[in-house]
Structure 1
Amino acid sequence: MDTQHDNALAHALAAIPGPVPPSGVIHIVIPHTNRFTVVGNHLAQHAGLSLVAIGIGVHIQSLPAGSEISIKTLAARFPEGEVKIASALRELEAHGYLRRTRVRLAKGRVATRTVFCNQPGAVLRGGVVPGAPGAPVVGAAVRNPAPAPALVREHLRATGPEPARVPEPEPARVPEPARVREPEPALVPEPEPARVPEHIRVREPEPTAVAGARPAPIRLPAPTAPKQPRRPLPHPHALTPERRQAASALLADLRRHAVELVLSEEAVEELVPGVAAWLERDATTDAIRHALTADLPKPLRHPARLLRHRLTALLPPPLPGVHDLTAPRRAPVPPFQTCDGCERAFRSHEPGHCRDCRAPYGEAA
C-alpha cells in the first residue's frame, strides 16, 4: 500500500499568524478556556534545574491547595522512584520554589508544611507587596483568594538572606533571537473550531479531579509481608479470688517502682488475668515486677499496651515436677561369674560356664 499523505497539518500551519521559522519547533496555539495553569518561563526554562525537577514543579503548581505532595505520593503517581523525586524536591527547595517546615499540631503530633512559590525571584527582590496586583498568592486554588501574609513572611525569612541562589535573570531582559515571540492572547483572535480538523486538535487528558475540590486519595501498594495478629493475653486455668486480689495489688503497686506505669482501673482489670497466669505457674511477685518494670522505653506513651505485651511474650513455662527432674535409671548390669571350665570371668546372673565352654558341656545359650 502507498503511504497516506494527510494535508490537514499543512492547512493548520497555514492558519498560524506571523512568519513560520525555517527550523525548530512550530507551535499550534489554541487558547485554553478551562483547566489550565499559568507557568512562568523562569521555571519551565530554568538553567539550573533538572528536567525531573521542572516537571515536578509544574505538577505541584497545577494542584489545588491542600493536595498531598509527599515523596511516597509522587512516587505512586509517576514512574520515577523515590530517590529521584526526593532529589528533585531538594533542587526546588534550593532554588527557592519550595519550602518545607515541620510544625507541631495538637495532641503532640508533628506534620510537614509545604509552601510552593511560583515566583521566588520576585519575592527575593522585594518589589511585590502581598495583596497588591501581581503579588504572589499562597495557595491560589483556595476558594478564598485572599493571601496568607504569615506563609509569605515565612517564605521571605527562608529565602531572603540568599539572593545569590537564584541564578536565572529576569525573563524580559534575556534576548532570544532564535525564538519566535508568541503573540499576546488578547491580540490573537480565537480560531474557529471548524477550521482546525478534529484529528490534529490538541486534546487535554481526562480530568482526574474537579478544580477546587480535594483530590482523590492515591492508594499505595500494600506491604508484601502480612501483619501478624496480636497474641491473646494469657489466662489461668482457675482464676481464684486470692490470685485476682494478688494480681490486682501487684499491678496497682507498679507506679511505686516506676512512675511511668500509672494504670487506670479499667487497665488493671484487663491485665489481671495475665498476672494471674504468671502466679499460677509459680512465678514470684518479685520476678513479675522485675519483668514488667525493667528497661522501660523513654518516653513511655502507652503503659498498658507495654505491660500486655510483656505479660504475653515473656510468660514463663510451668515448673517441672519432682519426677521430671530425677535422672533416668539405668538397666541393672549382671554381675561377674567365674567359668567352671576355663576359670575365666563372664557376666551372668547365675554361675556356670562361659560362652566358649557351653558347647562342649551342652548347656543352653
Structure 2
Amino acid sequence: MADQQLNAPPCAASPVPSSGIGHDNRRHPDRFTVVGNHLTQHRELSLTAIGLAAHIQSLPAGAKVSIKRLAERFPEGEVRIAGALRELEAHGYLTRTRERLPSGQVITRTVSYNNPPAMAVSAQPPPRPAPAPPEAPLPLPEAHDTAATTLLTDLRRHDPRLLLAERDVRRLAPAATAWLDRGITPEAVRRTLTAGLPATPIHHPAALLAHRLTEFLPPPLPASPTAPPRPDPLQNCDHCDRAFRAPRPGRCRDCIAHSATAAA
C-alpha cells in the first residue's frame, strides 16, 4: 500500500511581487539602445529631460536635434524641449556649440554623452568641439531695449536658477521694455521678478519670468494735469510809463485807445 501524501507540494513563487512594479523582460535581438540607470533614475532631471536624453542617445550620428525639429516630433512644444535641453547641458549629458563655417554660415554642433559620471571619473576630460570664432556683434537696440536686456541677463546674479539662454533674453526683452516705458525702475522690475520664488528647482526660468512680466504689468500712469498758462510779463508803457502785462513791449491799452480817438 502506497504511503499517504500528507503535505501538498508548495506552490511556485509568483514572478510578480505582491506590491510594486514587476518586470517581464525579453531580449532585444536588434534595434535597441543601452541607457544607464544614472540617467533613467536621475534625481534632479525632469521626466521630459530623461525621455529626451534617451531619444537623442537612440538617434544615429548626424540626426537633426534642433529645438524646432524635436518640437515637430514630440507634443511638448519648443518651450519645454528647450528647458529639457538646458537641463541635460547642466548635468553633462549634452553640449551645444555655435560654430561658423568657412562659408560664413553659423551652425550649432551638438554632442550627446551617454555616461557623464564615467567621464567625470576619467583622467581625460570629455572631448569638446573646438571653440567657435567670435560672431559679428549684433546691432544695438534702443536705450530701453538695452536696459531690459541688461536687467534680464543680470537676474542670475540674484538667483542662479534664473539663468537665461540668449534667445530667451531676446524674446523677453520687449516685455521688460514695456515695464520701463511705464516709468518702472529696473530695480523695481528686478524685485518683482525675483520676489517669492519657489524653494524647489526652477526647470523653466524663461516661462516663469514671462508669466510674471505679463501678469504683473502695472497700468501706465495717468497723464499729468495741464499746468495753467503763465501770465504775460510786466511791461512799461512806451508812452505813459505805466506798468501793464503784455507778451512784448509797447503801449498800454489806454494809450492805444487815446491815440485811436485822437486820430479819428
User: Which category describes the TM-score, using the shorter chain as reference length?
Assistant: 0.3 to 0.5
TM-score (norm 1): 0.31
Asked which structure has the greater CA Rg, the reply is: 1
